[in-house]
């Protein structure tokens, strides 16, 4: 899945598919620990999704403002 994401350009290519898969696999026990520590399920889901998707997405350089 991660290799496919890299190939089509949806996922960062500077991290290996193995590293990305390990990141994903480690989010599951982290979510369980967060729930056990009393975090609300909605907050856990939001933070896990952001950690994964914002952490692996391709970063595009900011475009200069018009007239700069």
pLDDT at 61: 62
Q: What is the dihedral of CA 33, 35, 39, 41, to 10 degrees?
A: 140
pLDDT at 12: 79
Kindly report, residue by residue over 1-25, the tens digit of the pLDDT.
888 888 888 877 888 889 888 888 8
Give the closest residue to 34 by CA, choosing from 26, 25, 21, 43. Answer: 43
Kindly report, residue by residue over 24-47, the tens digit of the pLDDT.
888 889 899 999 999 999 999 988
The C-alpha angle with vertex 52 and arms to 62 and 19, in degrees rounded to 5, equals 100
Token code pair at residue 31: 């979510």
pLDDT at 58: 64
CA distance 49 to 53: 6
pLDDT at 66: 62
């Amino acid at each position: 899945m991660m290799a496919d994401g890299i190939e089509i350009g949806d996922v960062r290519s500077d991290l290996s598919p193995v590293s990305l898969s390990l990141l994903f696999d480690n989010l599951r026990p982290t979510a369980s620990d967060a729930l056990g520590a009393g975090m609300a399920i909605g907050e856990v889901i939001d933070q896990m999704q952001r950690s994964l998707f914002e952490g692996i997405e391709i970063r595009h350089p900011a475009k200069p403002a018009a007239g700069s």
